[in-house]
Amino acid sequence: MDPSVIGTMIPIFFFAMIAAIVIVPRYFKSMERQKMAETLKAAIERGQPLPTEVVDAISSGVKTPPSPQRDLRTGIVWLGVGVGLAAMGWALGFEDPDATFPIIGIACFPAFIGLAFIAMYFVGRERR
């Protein structure tokens, strides 16, 4: 096989794999919800009471409203990602000093996102 064809196919398959990882679970989840809705519709039409397990299963996919505690947790995780990337840049600096500052620059993005979430925690806490 021609090396240029292989060189072209690798990125295509890589992005197709990423798309499949995102799309396939969402498809199966939507199919599961559709079947659950059909089952509920049939039960309601027959006048059967809804079991509490079914109500719990329906409400399990509902996102909780944002809260200051959730902002703090999210901020700490993002800040940890930024610090981890900065540490990786520092460690790579031992082998290649030119790699340190670009990676630390990239690490600033998640770190500042984390700091913004932590600031939202303090602002949201004062409102309550």
Q: Taking the domains of the chain in order of start, what are their residue ranges?
A: 1-62, 64-128
Q: What count of other Cβ atoms lies within 10 Å of the Cβ of residue 83?
A: 14
What's residue 82's pLDDT?
96
Query: Alpha carbon of 124 to those of 53, 78, 112, 115: distances in Å?
Result: 34, 18, 18, 14
Residues near 1 by Cβ (< 8 Å), separated by ≥ 6?
none
Q: What is the pLDDT of residue 91?
A: 94
Length of the chain: 128
The residue ranges of the chain whose pLDDT is under 50 are none
